[in-house]
A and B are shown apart, each in its own frame.
Chain A
């Protein structure tokens, strides 16, 4: 811990002394930790790419259990052709999660006795980076179910079904070995009425053995739809309690929000006690639990909105054009044009403590990609409708970022400014404790204890009047 701290302290000094160079000026704070989506139990993740009516959805389930039990049923607006379906890489989800996750940054207070240094310290806010981006048949008929298409893609057996009535569909799925919860027909009915088809998938064990993977890879499908929505109601049929869903929406023009539920930005950009450096995931989990409960599980939370060309600070490198295309961003042009095979990763590995603002490779004429990361905790009674979205024209950046400020540690009598500074630190730390208590459900007494804060000392007005006064 102490060696890490000193390494950080050195990095801090380097950044401060380099503050005349553009890169260092633009950077504000060190990225030191993040909370990823795997923090929450029962979390599904989806990537939605949308422009006009073109839509690409990728779904990553946190399915844990026997692969034989896995079944996915997604209503889709049309019969999908084989080329519209893909089995993607889990890595893409890990990358986009890491890039957009809530983050902790830290600053080091400058020496209060060295005024010129202080004035040099980071003032500038980040400026955008360069614009370059980055026999059966009869029985089926009796049930009113038609298998419109069937494919084996990767480790999945996929069927596109149309159905006339929901009971028949439920029966068909059960008879064909899809483990769907009882009572699913009620949730399926509205989609049948809207003439939607059903994309159903289960694991092909033989194919899965060939892949040698122990996890299930995400399923992706591309289609056209007027509806900018994500069906969540089917997933609630067998819900035991509230479920978490993290949605990464990639668009061209601006932030995405829900139109039939409130979309709320998480409280962010506040100073929190420095001991959270080693407890960030626990902190973020408690923060999200508390905020979701305060909204009575009726709100959708925005965790991140950013143009994917850059980040500041970077929790992870932005996705490369190639990775974005794998995620389904279809307007980025052909792979050859943007990222020749074998090209180096877009950001060379750098010192873990150094700021990373990404110079994305120049892909001429490439369109921007705005990432909105939404986090929903929903229960059947609080989210009665599927999520409907709209793309706003809002391009303001937002990130769930929490700040650690390390105090200068020195002799209170080192200079006249030192004592005033140390007083302000004490006040600041008390405020940090209160902030933390209000963001989470943690008790303020426990927080103060962990911060080694005593109850805020009432300072007498005469303390320090004469220099020999009590120096606490």
Chain B
């Protein structure tokens, strides 16, 4: 690598990983709205952000927390805008409010339990009227771009716990490959699955949330395997839609169990002002 590039890479690495994620999500949302005719209204997005950030501010003030975690709230709101679809205006803000409140209220051993965007999506498709998720919305053309950006992110963002993304993808695609081989289907089906935008988004930007996965690498691997197995059963045994979302939600209780079984170092976001992971945080580290 040339010195110039190395310098750029080092500088990128020093940035908070969440800034990278926000940039990525904003790009995807723009592509989605402009080129993928998402049935997302700008009011829904605006309300999601307003409600999400207000919820975040409310809880940080009420609990007297110093670290605001605004970046994480922004990521959750982007996630909900990217995934959740509704025919009304109240679904998005409600989902954002519940998702971010759960982060402060439902905590085990100082870690929040649910992946906020996942919780918001499940609330929408499971309980709220007029809300749905369109897993096919990305199509398969976008997959190459997604792979490219995801790989780029991994190069620049080593700090993140990306291992879970790769283990999950390997497990899931392995299971799909076994099914294709067993049924004697065409391998084009496997490639079709590999190019699913929804799968890549889930693997690189949902299950990879370091705050809601087990702390130890070996536990994370087990967790990724469990999510892949549940998703596989959901999609190919029960034949129900939105398998990845439901699998992550259903596997969530495993995280504190795995953490209790095998202790590991808890994750903290490395921000620009604190180059080393700050272990001595006062109060809960909110991602």
Contacts and interface: CB of A to CB of B under 8 A. Distances in A.
B139 A393 contact: no
Interface of A: 166, 186, 189-190, 193-194, 226-229, 254, 257-265, 295-296, 298-299, 381, 384-385, 388, 390, 392-396
The B contact surface, by secondary structure, is loop
Interface stretch (B8-16, B71-79, B128-136, B261-269): B128-136
Contact of B129 (A298, A388, A393): A393
Contact of A395 (B87, B141, B242): B87
A384 B183 contact: no
Interface of B: 36-37, 39, 85, 87, 129-132, 134-141, 182-186, 188-189, 191-192, 196, 238-242
A260 B239 CA distance: 12
Contacts of A385: 189, 192
Given A384-B189, A394-B85, A193 B130 contact: no
A163 to B, nearest CB: 13
B222 to A, nearest CB: 28
A265 B36 CA distance: 10
B139 A299 contact: yes
A435 to B, nearest CB: 17
B136 A263 contact: yes
Contacts of B239: 226-229
B134 A257 contact: yes
Contacts of A260: 135-136, 192, 196
Contacts of B139: 261-262, 295, 298-299
Given A260-B192, A393-B87, A189 B184 contact: yes
Contacts of B196: 260
B114 to A, nearest CB: 22
A396 B132 CA distance: 13
A384 B130 contact: no
Contacts of A265: 37
Contact of B87 (A229, A262, A396): A396
A430 to B, nearest CB: 25
Contacts of B36: 262
B136 A394 contact: no
B238 A226 contact: yes
A392 B183 contact: no
Contacts of A166: 184
Nearest to A53: B239
Contact of A384 (B134, B136, B192): B192
A97 B16 CA distance: 55
A392 B135 contact: no
A257 B136 contact: yes
Contacts of B134: 257, 263, 392
B184 A384 contact: no
A228 B239 CA distance: 8
A259 B87 contact: no
A391 to B, nearest CB: 9
B132 A393 contact: yes
A299 B134 CA distance: 13
Contacts of A254: 132
A393 B183 contact: no
A189 B183 contact: yes
Contact of A264 (B37, B141, B183, B238): B37
